[in-house]
Amino acid sequence: MALKKVKGNLERIFDKNLTDLVRGLRNNKDNESKYIAQCIEEIKVELRQDNAAVKANAVTKLAYLQMVGYDISWAGFNVIEVMSSPKFTHKRIGYLAASQSFHADLEMLMLTTNMIRKDLSSQNQYEAGVALSALSCFVSPDLARDLSNDIMTLLSSTKPYLRKKGVLMLYKIFLKYPDALRPAFPRLKEKLEDPDPGVQSAAVNVICELARKNPKNYLSLAPVFFKLMTTSTNNWMLIKIIKLFGALTPLEPRLGKKLIEPLTNLIHSTSAMSLLYECINTVIAVLISISTGMPNHNASIELCVQKLRILIEDSDQNLKYLGLLAMSKILTTHPKSVQTHKDLIMRCLDDKDESIRLRALDLLYGMVGKKNLMEIVKKLMVHMEKAEGTTYRDELLTKIIQICSQNNYQHITNFEWYISVLVELSRVEGLSHGSMVASQMLDVAVRVHAIRPFAVEQMSLLLENPYAIFGMALGSARPPSMIQVLYAAAWICGEYCTFLSNPKKTLLGMLDSRMVQLPHNIQSVYLQNCLKVLAHLLPSQSKGPPATANLLTNGTEEGESEDLPDQNAKENEDSAVEPEKINLAEIQEYLKPFISSEELEVQERAGCLNNFIKCYVKLESKGQVDDFGELSKELANAFSSELNPVASKAQKKVPVPEGLDLDAWINDPPSDSEEETTETTDVFVKTHTAADFGSNLTEKKKVPELSEEELGKMREARKQEQNLNPHYLKSSSKPTNSKLVNWSDDIPPVEKLDLSVPLQIPTLASSDKYLQESKQKSSKSKKEKSSSGKKKKKKKTKGKESEEEEEDVEIEAETVHVVNTVIEMPEGATLSDTEESALAFDDPHRALDIDLDIPLDPPPEVAKTKASRKSDPNYIKKSKEKPKEVEVTNSETHEEVVVEPSVNSIKKTKSSDSKNKSHKKHKKHGKKEKKSKQSDANDDNLLIEME
> In three state form, how does the secondary structure of 370-433 look?
CCCHHHHHHHHHHHHHHCCCHHHHHHHHHHHHHHHHHHHHCCCCCHHHHHHHHHHHHCCCCCCC
Q: How far is the C-alpha of 192 from the C-alpha of 206, rounded, in Å? A: 10
Average pLDDT rounded to a whole number, residues 865-892: 45
Average pLDDT over residues 918-938: 46
Look at 369-373, 395-399, 868-872 and tell me which has the smallest mean pLDDT: 868-872
Any idea where the domains of the chain sit in the sequence? 502-542+581-638
Determine contact, residues 612/532, Cβ cutoff 8 Å.
no
Reported as a pLDDT band with limits 50, 70 and 90, residue 718 is: confident
Q: How far is CA 921 from CA 365, 915, 924, 929, in A?
A: 66, 10, 5, 12
Query: Of 77-91, 364-378, 539-553, which gets the smallest average pLDDT?
Result: 539-553
Least confident of 731-745, 848-862, 896-910: 896-910
**Which residues, 6+ apart, have CB-to-CB distance to 874 below 8 Å?**
none
Query: Would residue 363 be called left, alpha or beta, if left means φ above 0 and alpha means ψ between -120 and 50 degrees?
Result: alpha
Backbone dihedral angles phi then psi of residue 486, each to the nearest 5 degrees: -65, -25
Residue partners of 229: CB distance under 8 A and separation at least 6: 238, 241, 242, 245, 262
Mean pLDDT calculated for residue range 248-257: 83
Indicate if the pLDDT at residue 342 is higher than 80.
yes
Cα 503 to Cα 582: distance, rounded to the nearest angstrom = 11
Above 60 in pLDDT, residue 735? Answer: no
Higher pLDDT: 556 or 24? It is: 24
pLDDT at 828 over 90: no
More confident residue, 723 or 206: 206
> For 275-334, how does the pLDDT look when each residue is reduced to its tens digit (9 = 90+)?
999 898 888 888 776 444 455 577 888 888 889 999 899 888 999 999 999 888 888 778
For residue 102, what pLDDT is reported?
A: 94
pLDDT band at 491 (very low <50, low <70, confident <90, very high): very high
Binned at pLDDT 50, 70 and 90, residue 212 comes out as confident
Instruction: Give the pLDDT band of residue 660 (cuts 50, 70, 90).
Output: confident
**Per-residue model confidence as pLDDT tens digits over 749-761:** 655 555 454 445 5
Instruction: Average the pLDDT over 837-854 and give the result.
Output: 69
Residue 830 backbone zone (phi > 0: left; psi -120 to 50: alpha; other: beta): beta
pLDDT grade for 369, boundaries at 50, 70 and 90: confident
Among 63-67, 391-395, 606-610, which range has the highest average pLDDT?
A: 63-67
- Give me the chain's average pLDDT, please: 75
Q: pLDDT by residue (tens digit) across 624-635?
A: 666 667 777 777
Round to whole Å and give the CA distance between 852 and 850: 6
Which residue has better confidence, 38 or 703?
A: 38
Residue 612: band (very low, low, confident or very high) from pLDDT cuts 50, 70, 90: confident
CB–CB of 447/819 below 8 Å? yes
pLDDT confidence of residue 178: 92
Length of the chain: 947
Higher local confidence (pLDDT), 421 or 5: 421
pLDDT of residue 422: 92
- pLDDT score recorded for residue 928: 46
Residue 518 has pLDDT above 80, yes or no: yes
Kind and range of the H or E run holding 898: strand 895-900
pLDDT of residue 536: 86
Most confident of 2-6, 317-321, 833-837: 317-321
Name the E strands within 812-865: none
The stretch 37-65 carries a mean pLDDT of 93
Task: Taking residues 33-38, report their average pLDDT.
Answer: 92
pLDDT at 695: 46
Quick one: pLDDT at residue 434?
86
The mean pLDDT of 631-655, rounded to a whole number, is 77
Q: Is the pLDDT of residue 746 over 60?
A: no
Under a CB-based contact definition with an 8 Å cutoff, are residues 552 and 505 in contact? no
Write the DSSP symbol of residue 646: B
pLDDT of residue 20: 92
Residue 331: burial class (beta carbons within 10 Å; 0-12, 13-18, 19+)? buried
Which residues lie closer than 8 Å to 498 by C-beta, 6 or more apart? 536
Of the candidates 336, 281, 286, the one whose C-alpha atom is nearest the C-alpha of residue 307 is 281
Contact between residue 722 and residue 728 where contact means Cβ atoms under 8 Å apart: yes
How many whole angstroms separate alpha carbon 525 and alpha carbon 545?
A: 31
Mean pLDDT value of segment 137-142: 94
In the chain, what percentage of residues exceed pLDDT 70? 66
Q: Is 197 exposed, middle or buried (0-12, 13-18, 19+ CB in 10 A)?
A: middle
Label residue 916 by pLDDT band (50, 70, 90). Answer: very low
Model confidence at 936: pLDDT above 50: no
The per-residue pLDDT for 793 is 47
Model's pTM, two decimal places?
Answer: 0.59
Q: Comparing 39-53, 288-302, 355-369, which segment has the lowest mean pLDDT?
A: 288-302
Query: What pLDDT is recorded for position 693?
Result: 42
Binned at pLDDT 50, 70 and 90, residue 885 comes out as very low
3-state helix, strand, coil in the chain (%, to 5): 65, 0, 30
